[in-house]
Structure 1
């Protein structure tokens, strides 16, 4: 039987460098869950013969020596000696693109179990449309660097494909695959994983954590709202809180950009043509003017806008960005470009009722980064079309797998129609795209709060696909529903200049895992989190130090320069109330 949470009163007295500094106002008496205790792995290669869980097949289990685990072609992570377990659950035949039950589905998974275990379980929520099992190292964007992944810190880690194979998004034809992707894979995998951990170590995990970014952030929010009785701590990155709406907003963006270009009649070079609507150089002009109006609002001209919401009042696209008087030359925007960008930043609206269909976006310096254009153009055309058409729309509205068909799909109807499709149901698809993707009761989180679990959320203010404002609006409502005390169990950190789950002119290297564990298990309330630049980030401005650090401040506070000392050192900044 899983160890029941034990509430222990404590007074938070310590201040830990990596994000565990108590608030300066006062240090209240808090409650925390009992700390995890370590154990040693006692079985690996024989797990399949000793583990029996309903509808679960273990396909392999083997020991791996300490060293680097190659996560992808460009990333590797340090790992101790551990056991790698692979398998799948709930294998079945389901609906494929033919409309017949001719496609094999299962919830595939990988678990990595360190020989020296810290007593904790970590669910690595992957992103995008899932469909493949990423290596279970406990990765969370660039957080803390390659040595700070959860596996290397002693966690037992699971990763999954969320219940469907590649290629995605064709799984959207199958109703159960949709639900597994939305939320059910977590419900199925969690008790199985904890039972397997008990076989491996002789006990179930004392504490369980869940983390992810992008759709992985949405997965984490879903777990916090649906499965808070199964997990003790959550790290949420750039979450797609209303992901179907955000995908509709992406299609709306392509509709707006398309007004600025003329596509080739033969359907060739669609992406290349779309990317000329507002070029990288022209987005750079916008960024320069945003910085001109907003950079010093936080007390220092350093290329970072910490006072995000004061900036929205200070910057005006039409007034501050030069309007081209003739041909575009990379130093100005045409009136038509300004109108399209303004519409996109305002978010899509129902043209008849004025109802907002997705949140607006804040203007920030990272609009000039490659990641912004990547999501505005490439991903909007090549991923969001499939997401809306196959997965979120009811019934599925598929199209051919090419950019010409994708563009035709985007231009085939109004944004209002797309917004309606994500709320539709039928006798076969009994849950709408909105319902199976969006976390229920998210602005209350009563179970999470009542049992002493905690949540830490971060979001880059230059995210082009999931609006920072959507997350801020969520947090404000959460705070209102909890009598102004949301900070007792949930913290939100806005990261200036950061794009979607990293990248851009920003400090996107940080460690929230230690801070969360200390909050959950020791009652040490986190305040600022130390963040640094990644020296390998090629989009860092030339005048930034490769060792720049900044404090990430809990919303609604912001980092402000103290007025003296090295501007590249976080020690010379304080978290203060923002305007």
Structure 2
């Protein structure tokens, strides 16, 4: 039996019930009147006849037809594993996936990326409700099963070289192939369009598909991509050292003697910094409205002048900033370097979305949570200290350096930027691929993706303190140059002023990238702007606010008339 006939064998019994009209430019809905849906779904537990259409060592653990319930439409849910095995560390591993095939299918296939270091099964049921066949994965390790307290907790998968490869790129390719093959077997026909969407680590995975596996997806939306993992987390060690030093010098210590990093800037201190940035840069886009659209013009000298104006003339008081605070902040925004001043990652834009309160229920905790943590917490709780920084560097280094949570701060404070960074580029007999070669997703050659008429939308918040917007913009500009200045034809980049990591902050941070992406792919209508709303308009002391997100290098400009809180009053130029 050849490959084409084997894929169609399950669907053969269903084919008579499928009556498709002309395809046209839009994805049509496959009629729901298919006989024996539950039986056809259950039949997918036997995949022996699918052969090479599936990745090697694919197993279906369950295939169950679920009737419409709990706001979910009727659909076939498939749970499976790829390459179940025992790793070199003695741990059980497998690439888990969950595929949902709706009864009324729009002939679109959708995969969503993960977050952090993954390890949990992604299940985008919200998109399945729209008629998409959806799939997600844990990227090859399970946070509950593979976590080890003595090896970075959920980062312990880094002890196994294959688990690193699966997390880096292998899982997403294999799960895509498995999902498409199973969907075709079930419906009796392939999808017309395929989409991938993700933010943060999921954004890295999204870019990965356009670069390493350009044949898989027609449309890709990548948010805040960690395209230089693990250099971004390494940059978190840089800020940890800076703010820990500031806390120690100012006598801000925890009961155990550790520097109280979160107290290096009080909430009022960060508000002073935000106000300084606004005073320096808010009007550079032609409108003083609490949003800095013209981020490239918001330079360090400009901001420095306003920070110095807020500097204490004597001892530090709540109404002013110390010279040490200002100097430390400038070093942090300049980015991590080695002792010779060579940049190791990226600088950061001065965006007024920085700052925030220590309480998660108060104004904008997002920026603070990554770099310094809460000013009121009894322990150091910055994400880049307790999780991302040290652990992410360790799970991707060679040789491996297992450690416990208690080791995170001492490790970060002792980290040598002249010698330790080389481990990201190193290999060993066990780890034959370096972290850089596996995880970096910065190829500027997107010719294969463009050649198949693929479309890419990238977005990033100006006040992201996890991944630098500047790093993503440099990649995009470099890609545009490599592609002969044609990036706008197939790939567009959208800056979200004020937004923190993927969401939050004083920003119009609520938007839908999938709908305009679908329209671009299927109708050829390029998204000249994306309308975004403020999820928390009270940040601006208004009831509602919307703005157009403009394709880089264009920026939103007020038309001169109309409500400044309405996107219709702005244009991209």
TM-score normalised to structure 1 length: 0.84
Residue equivalent to 1:6: none
**2:213 corresponds to 1:227:** yes
Higher-helix-fraction structure: 2
**2:191 corresponds to 1:198:** no
Residue equivalent to 1:143: none
1:492, distance to aligned residue in structure 2 (A): 0.3
1:367, distance to aligned residue in structure 2 (A): 0.3
Residue equivalent to 1:551: 548
Q: Structure 1, unaligned stretches of length 5 or more?
A: 3-32, 69-77, 97-101, 138-148
Q: Residues 155 and 395 of structure 2 are in contact (CA less than 8 Å); yes or no, is this contact kept in structure 1?
A: yes
Q: Using the alignment, how far apart are the partners of 1:325 and 1:394 within structure 2?
A: 49
Q: Residues 211 and 217 of structure 1 are in contact (CA less than 8 Å); yes or no, is this contact kept in structure 2?
A: yes
State the SS of the aligned residue for 1:275.
helix
Residues 83-124 of structure 1 deviation map (CA, whole Å, 9 limit, x = unaligned) = 32212111000033xxxxx10000011112211111111111
Q: Using the alignment, how far apart are the partners of 1:104 and 1:501 within structure 2?
A: 32
Residue equivalent to 2:14: none
Residue equivalent to 2:30: 39
Question: For residues 350 and 195 of structure 1, do their structure 2 counterparts lie closer, same or farther at Cα, with a shift above 3 Å needed?
Answer: same
Matches within 5 A, 1:154-553: 154-166=131-143, 167=147, 168-262=154-248, 268=256, 273-312=260-299, 315-317=302-304, 319-321=306-308, 322-352=310-340, 354-368=341-355, 369-377=364-372, 378-402=382-406, 405-439=407-441, 442-534=443-535, 537=536, 540-541=538-539, 543-545=541-543, 547-553=544-550
Q: Using the alignment, how far apart are the partners of 1:245 and 1:183 within structure 2?
A: 17
State the SS of the aligned residue for 1:349.
coil
State the SS of the aligned residue for 1:338.
helix
State the SS of the aligned residue for 2:211.
helix
Q: Using the alignment, how far apart are the partners of 2:547 and 2:72 within structure 1?
A: 28
State the SS of the aligned residue for 1:276.
helix
Q: Residues 531 and 550 of structure 1 are in contact (CA less than 8 Å); yes or no, is this contact kept in structure 2?
A: yes
- Give the number of equivalent residue pairs: 512
Pick 1 or 2: higher relative contact order, CA cutoff 8 A, min separation 6. 1
Greater shift, 519-528 or 413-422, is seen at: 413-422
1:152, distance to aligned residue in structure 2 (A): 2.4
Residue equivalent to 1:83: 76
Q: Residues 370 and 465 of structure 2 are in contact (CA less than 8 Å); yes or no, is this contact kept in structure 1?
A: yes
TM-score normalised to structure 2 length: 0.85
Question: For residues 294 and 400 of structure 1, do their structure 2 counterparts lie closer, same or farther at Cα, with a shift above 3 Å needed?
Answer: same
Residues 445-464 of structure 1 deviation map (CA, whole Å, 9 limit, x = unaligned) = 11001111010000000000
Residue equivalent to 2:562: 565
1:65, distance to aligned residue in structure 2 (A): 4.7
Q: Residues 280 and 306 of structure 2 are in contact (CA less than 8 Å); yes or no, is this contact kept in structure 1?
A: no
Matches within 5 A, 1:13-162: 35-40=26-31, 42=34, 43-44=37-38, 45-52=41-48, 53=54, 54-66=56-68, 79-96=72-89, 102-137=90-125, 149-162=126-139
Q: Using the alignment, how far apart are the partners of 2:72 and 2:533 within structure 1?
A: 23
Q: Using the alignment, how far apart are the partners of 1:214 and 1:340 within structure 2?
A: 26
State the SS of the aligned residue for 1:474.
helix
Question: For residues 335 and 264 of structure 1, do their structure 2 counterparts lie closer, same or farther at Cα, with a shift above 3 Å needed?
Answer: closer
Alignment root-mean-square deviation, CA: 2.2
1:469, distance to aligned residue in structure 2 (A): 0.5
Residue equivalent to 1:99: none
Question: For residues 269 and 134 of structure 1, do their structure 2 counterparts lie closer, same or farther at Cα, with a shift above 3 Å needed?
Answer: farther
Q: Residues 155 and 392 of structure 2 are in contact (CA less than 8 Å); yes or no, is this contact kept in structure 1?
A: no
Question: For residues 48 and 105 of structure 1, do their structure 2 counterparts lie closer, same or farther at Cα, with a shift above 3 Å needed?
Answer: same
Q: Using the alignment, how far apart are the partners of 1:398 and 1:413 within structure 2?
A: 15
Q: Residues 246 and 466 of structure 1 are in contact (CA less than 8 Å); yes or no, is this contact kept in structure 2?
A: yes
Q: Using the alignment, how far apart are the partners of 1:522 and 1:229 within structure 2?
A: 20
Q: Using the alignment, how far apart are the partners of 1:390 and 1:350 within structure 2?
A: 19
Question: For residues 66 and 558 of structure 1, do their structure 2 counterparts lie closer, same or farther at Cα, with a shift above 3 Å needed?
Answer: farther
State the SS of the aligned residue for 1:411.
helix
1:232, distance to aligned residue in structure 2 (A): 0.9
Q: Using the alignment, how far apart are the partners of 2:294 and 2:254 within structure 1?
A: 47
Q: Using the alignment, how far apart are the partners of 2:263 and 2:254 within structure 1?
A: 18
Larger Rg: 2
Q: Residues 48 and 59 of structure 1 are in contact (CA less than 8 Å); yes or no, is this contact kept in structure 2?
A: no
Question: For residues 558 and 400 of structure 1, do their structure 2 counterparts lie closer, same or farther at Cα, with a shift above 3 Å needed?
Answer: same
1:542, distance to aligned residue in structure 2 (A): 5.2
Higher-strand-fraction structure: 1
Question: For residues 115 and 409 of structure 1, do their structure 2 counterparts lie closer, same or farther at Cα, with a shift above 3 Å needed?
Answer: same
1:233, distance to aligned residue in structure 2 (A): 0.9
Residue equivalent to 2:13: none
1:317, distance to aligned residue in structure 2 (A): 2.5
Q: Using the alignment, how far apart are the partners of 2:64 and 2:255 within structure 1?
A: 50
Greater shift, 257-266 or 172-181, is seen at: 257-266
